[in-house]
Amino acid sequence: MKQPYFLKLLTLVAIALVFASVFPQYAQSSPPGEDIRGESTGGDSEDIRRMAPVADPIPAGEQKAIESPEPPEVKKSDAEAEAPSALKSGEAADGGVEEATEEEEIEAETETISDPLKPFNHLMFRFNDRLYFYLLKPVARGYKAVLPEKVRLSVKNALSNIATPVRFINCTLQGKLKSAGTELARFIVNTTWGVLGLFDPAKNSLHLEKAQEDFGQTLGKYGVKEGFYIVWPFFGPSNLRDTIGMTGDFFADPLFYINPHTDLGFVEVNTTYPTIGTATDKVNETSLTLGMYEEFKESAIDPYVSMRSAYFEYRRNQIKK
Amino acid sequence: MKIMKITKYLFVGLLTLLMSLALAFSSLAAGPTEQIKAKSDLVMKILNDPALQNRKEKRRELVMDVVEDMINWQEVSRRALAIHWKKRTPQEKEEFTNLFRDLLKRTYSEKLDIYSGEQIIYENETIDGNRAVVKTKVVNKKKGTEATVDYRMLKKGEQWLAYDMVIEGISAVNNYRVQFSEIIASSSYDALIKRLKDK
């Protein structure tokens, strides 16, 4: 029973890798064919765009940045440097260049996001939305009613403490040895003094801050492109790179290796504990942040686009750190 | 003894006078951080007012008034519409600015309903000509959470006004710009206005 789950994960990674190799253009930030549309940024091109049934509408601002297709080996950080040069041609087509520096600054922030799976993603976004309102939120409210905040914060601390290897490994892989050391120190302090991680004296008394590193960020640091946007059911927004990262982190989770019945065989890992751990974490976290998702939806004109943009910006910022 | 006490009071009084004078002068030419701090302190005062705890509507209104003259609304709108801003007539620009301002004020004041004792820590500011970035951290000691919040500001006359808020690296203006341009690209500017009105 346990093996198929593991196989599913492997299949997922395999599919992602195969997809990335078959459609390398999607594995980059810029989708193919966009340069054709991107060339006409004049006033009447808007009408053309409106008439043509575009399955995957990319904001006009994005199209500009896409104009100059970058070779695959160019690192992510160059995307920003590329934007202004791509902008000039767009500006010229637009007619006015009076506020060049100002506009340049505005456009420089323009992002390039590829979303070829939009119909699927949209569906998953709606699925997760319903999941939140009909299942997660009621469960989290009940949970909140039973457990005082202090207990719920301790649950959060303990789960985070267990997940130390994930952060430790990724700090090390990114060459952040000081952060890796901090993670190790935090684990030792919080597991002993913090009673199995229920409390966080490492932060509160010793000011040892947690290093929020994961495998997706590590891959990003090594220059792996983020790839297209994917919304996973249950897990929410992600992209190709972070999906692979998430799978990698799964295997760094010690809960995976708790198996009372068999030896620590690699293939015979037990998914029961990580599943319980993930579910508890989700409910616990929701109980601590009730109302936030509602506020997010309230503030957005198009919640799907808003979340997609926020996800990419947040991750890019995390990788820069 | 008595004289000592009197001189002590005098000294304290003088010090307070000096400090308030210094404060008064500094607020005359308030820098970006002072500007954000003054407004945030006002918002915090409203949020922590026990008399307003159960009057959420009144609280929102008061918060909205503070936010009103903390932000350069035209700059926010111009940046959010980006390339589409230039194509609009002055009337359309005004209409858009008003609609967008209402949305932002409303959602910002509603966001504060989930306020639970967070504190603002002012990290630093960088000024570059008439632009500035004020970096802050919103810390919840009880929950052990913190988030970085940067304010991007523009000097208008003698006053620093915010035009963007960057929470954990996510720029609010950028997020709206992507939403707006996607709506304009897939349907039209009028459709965007309609959705703003319906919101």
Nearest-Cα distance to chain B for A22, in Å, is 28
Residues 143-162 of A with CB under 8 A from B: 149, 153, 157
Q: Which residue has the tokens 């919304």?
A: A231
Q: Note down the domain range covering B101.
A: 32-198
Q: Which pLDDT score, from 0 to 100, does residue B128 have? A: 93
pLDDT tens string B147-191: 999 999 999 888 899 999 999 999 999 999 999 999 999 999 999
Question: Helical H runs in chain B?
Answer: 2-28, 32-48, 56-68, 73-81, 90-111, 172-186, 189-198
The answer to whether residues B63 and B147 belong to one domain is yes
Residues 20-59 of B with CB under 8 A from A: none
| pLDDT (mean) for B25-42 | 79
**Is residue A267 predicted with pLDDT exceeding 70?**
no
| pLDDT (mean) for A153-170 | 95
The answer to whether residues B20 and B71 belong to one domain is no
Position A251 confidence tier, pLDDT thresholds 50, 70, 90: confident
Question: Three-state secondary structure along chain A?
Answer: CHHHHHHHHHHHHHHHHHHHHHCHHHHCCCCCCHHHHHCCCCCCHHHHHHHCCCCCCCCHHHHHHHCCCCCCCCCCCHHHHHHHHHHHHHHHHHCCCCCHHHHHHHHHCCCCCCCCCHHHHHHHHHHHHHHHHHHHHHHHHHHHHHCCHHHHHHHHHHHHHHCHHHHHHHHHHCCCHHHHHHHHHHHHHHHHCCCCCCCCHHHHCCCCCCCCCCHHHHHHHCCCCCCCEEEECCCEEEEHHHHHHHHHHHHCCHHHHCCCCCCCCCCCCCCHHHHHHHHHHHHHHHHHCCCHHHHHHHHCCCHHHHHHHHHHHHHHHHHHC
The answer to whether residues B17 and B47 belong to one domain is no
The answer to whether residues B38 and B130 belong to one domain is yes
Closest residue in B to A100 (Cα) is: B83
Position A259 confidence tier, pLDDT thresholds 50, 70, 90: low
Contact A314 B170 (CB under 8 A): yes
- For chain B, how far is it from start to end, CA to CA, in angstroms? 69
Instruction: Using the Cα atoms of residue B83, residue A295, residue A302 and residue A219 in order, give the sign of their dihedral.
Output: positive
Lowest-confidence pick of A65-79, A239-253, B19-33: A65-79
Q: Which pLDDT score, from 0 to 100, does residue B2 have? A: 65
Name the residue facing B83 among A94, A109, A308 (closest C-beta): A94
| Helix-helix angle B90-111:A292-299, to 10 degrees | 170
The answer to whether residues B22 and B69 belong to one domain is no
What whole-number distance in Å separates Cα of residue A214 and Cα of residue A164? 11
Q: Which residue has the tokens 């890019």?
A: A316
Closest residue in A to B103 (Cα) is: A299
The answer to whether residues B46 and B84 belong to one domain is yes
Contact B82 A61 (CB under 8 A): yes
Mean pLDDT of chain B: 87
Name the residue facing B179 among A60, A111, A300 (closest C-beta): A300
Nearest-Cα distance to chain A for B6, in Å, is 43
pLDDT tens string A11-32: 554 454 444 444 444 444 443 3
What whole-number distance in Å separates Cα of residue A259 and Cα of residue A281? 20
Phi first, then psi, for residue A227 (nearest 5°) are: 75, -170
Q: Which pLDDT score, from 0 to 100, does residue B28 have? A: 53
| Helix-helix angle B2-28:B32-48, to 10 degrees | 110
Contact between A162 and A277 under an 8 Å Cβ cutoff? The reply is yes
3-state secondary structure of B59: helix
Q: Give me the CATH number covering residue B73.
A: 3.10.450.710
The reply to whether A50 touches chain B by the CB within 8 Å rule is yes
**Is residue B17 predicted with pLDDT exceeding 80?**
no
**Is residue A64 predicted with pLDDT exceeding 90?**
no
The answer to whether residues B25 and B121 belong to one domain is no
The answer to whether residues B78 and B160 belong to one domain is yes
Position B24 confidence tier, pLDDT thresholds 50, 70, 90: low
> Model's pTM, two decimal places?
0.73
Structural domain count of chain B: 2
Q: Which of A87-96, B105-114, B130-139, B142-151 has the highest mean pLDDT?
A: B130-139
Contact A310 B170 (CB under 8 A): yes
The answer to whether residues B93 and B111 belong to one domain is yes
Mean pLDDT of chain A: 75
Q: Which pLDDT score, from 0 to 100, does residue A161 have? A: 95
Contact between A84 and A97 under an 8 Å Cβ cutoff? The reply is no
The answer to whether residues B154 and B73 belong to one domain is yes
The answer to whether residues B57 and B6 belong to one domain is no
Contact between B78 and A102 under an 8 Å Cβ cutoff? The reply is no
The answer to whether residues B55 and B141 belong to one domain is yes
